[in-house]
Amino acid sequence: MSWIYLAWRNLGLKKLQTTLSLILLAFGVGMVSLLMLSEKQLSDTFDRNIQDIDLVLGAKGSPLQLILANVYHVDAPTGNIRLVDAQKVIRHPYIEEGIPLAYGDNYRGFRIVGSTAAYLDHYNAALQAGRRIEAPFEVVIGRKVAETTGLKVGDTFFSAHGLQDETDVHTDKTFTVVGMLAESQSVIDQLLHCTIETIWAVHDGHGETVDESDREITAVLLKKRNPLAVLTIPNVIRDSNMQVALPAIEINRLTQNFGIGLNTLRSIALIIMLISFASIFISVYDNLIARKYELALLRTMGSGPSGVFLLLLLEGGLLSFGGAALGLVLSRVGLLVLAELVQDKFRYDWSSIGLLPNEWAIFGVAIFVGLIAAAIPGISALKIDISRTLSEK
């Protein structure tokens, strides 16, 4: 026998009321925590991939599309740009480094991206097996690609034209997997890497020689040397078909647009939480009225007023603890479901489910408010007139 046991049994006596309070609080806490988790995952994913990319150079079009296509590889590219034009920008004194990207083919839905060694270095890619690319048509595959397609070092495959479907297969050009990357939790996990020359070779006609000045690439990831680059580069490329976009700004804009929806959800979650606290309050208060005799009885048997107060507090505490814990579990389940959906669409892996500091805060606040909701009826329990209560009825 203990106060906790007694509180537990008392809650068990009112199963429906207890269940309702638990469900309400679990949903409130669950929604708030799910929002926090997905926001965190989203911004982590965005940040990890932006890293030190200050500017992206590509064909004119939607700047957001340019970023999504070339930094995250989730959108179609805006078009091609001429290598000679791009090189003018890369060699600009305000630019420290430019990583050219060329792509247009896929293998089973994963993009085959031609670039330089700097691209993999940029994301600190480490080889898990095999070696780096040394010649055209050699490919190093990302972790996600290896897991999904089952490609191994030494395997060969054909690429398909386009970024999604596999109808138009280039059966004349054979790619060979020479290396496999360790997991990096960034976009390179979902790509097949080769040289730019490989991409060109796939698309060149047989025996045809292409003038070097007509060579095209898709985009260039730029790292600035001087902050003025952001202002200067747009002027440099004004008369071309190119544009530059700032990943940080575009992603900011994107999340702000998301934000309106998130705020609405957040308000709904908070309202559900408030209702659940009201439910706990009503539940404990209701119990207080129904069990006034029991509380008076406890007093006649030797419990001080503090014992009775503690009992009510424990009932509220158990409810809010249970509800909040259930909510955190619920949000994890929700995130896993969401991750499945997102992974199919965007091929991003959301799997870390540790407790965020903010969630600890929500957990603490939920229990605290639950205790307060129980303490209010608890205070009136302190004032019970034992003699009068027991002689009523």
**Residues within the interface to another protein (CB under 8 A):** 1-2, 6, 9-10, 12-13, 291, 293-294, 296-307, 386-387, 390, 393
Produce one character per residue of 186-213: b if its CB has 16 or more CB atoms within 10 Å, e if not.
bbbbbbbbbbbebbbebeeeeeeeeeee
Residue whose structure tokens are 């247009």: 104
Q: Which residues pair with 57 in a beta bridge?
A: 220, 244
Q: Which two structure tokens, joined as six digits, stand for 75?
A: 């959108």
Question: Residue 264 or residue 387: which is nearer to another protein going by CB?
Answer: 387
Question: Residue 1 or residue 260: which is nearer to another protein going by CB?
Answer: 1
* Beta strand segments in 24-78, E: 55-59
Q: How far is the CB of 274 from another protein (least distance, A)?
A: 28
Q: How far is the CB of 382 from another protein (least distance, A)?
A: 10
Q: How far is the CB of 22 from another protein (least distance, A)?
A: 17
Taking the C-alpha atoms of residue 358 and residue 336, their distance in angstroms, rounded to an integer, is: 19
Alpha-carbon 186 to chain mean position: 12
Q: How far is the CB of 1 from another protein (least distance, A)?
A: 4
Q: How far is the CB of 374 from another protein (least distance, A)?
A: 16
Question: Residue 116 or residue 303: which is nearer to another protein going by CB?
Answer: 303
Q: How far is the CB of 289 from another protein (least distance, A)?
A: 14
The answer to whether residues 119 and 99 touch, using CB atoms and an 8 Å cutoff, is yes
Residue whose structure tokens are 């209702």: 275
Question: Residue 260 or residue 301: which is nearer to another protein going by CB?
Answer: 301
Question: Residue 53 or residue 374: which is nearer to another protein going by CB?
Answer: 374
Q: What are the φ and ψ backbone dihedral angles of 97, each rounded to 5 degrees? A: -150, 145
Closest CA to 187 of 249, 247, 245, 229: 247
Instruction: Kindly report the length of the chain.
Output: 393
Q: How far is the CB of 370 from another protein (least distance, A)?
A: 20
* Helix, strand, coil percentages, rounded to 5, for the chain: 60, 15, 25
Question: Residue 193 or residue 292: which is nearer to another protein going by CB?
Answer: 292
Residue whose structure tokens are 């599309």: 65
End-to-end CA distance of the chain: 29
Q: Torsion over CA of 175, 179, 184 and 188, rounded to 10 degrees? A: -20
Question: Residue 204 or residue 392: which is nearer to another protein going by CB?
Answer: 392
Question: Residue 11 or residue 22: which is nearer to another protein going by CB?
Answer: 11
Q: How far is the CB of 392 from another protein (least distance, A)?
A: 10
CB neighbourhood size of 13 (10 A): 11
Question: Residue 8 or residue 368: which is nearer to another protein going by CB?
Answer: 8
Q: Is 109 left (phi over 0), alpha (psi -120 to 50) or beta?
A: left
Q: How far is the CB of 6 from another protein (least distance, A)?
A: 7
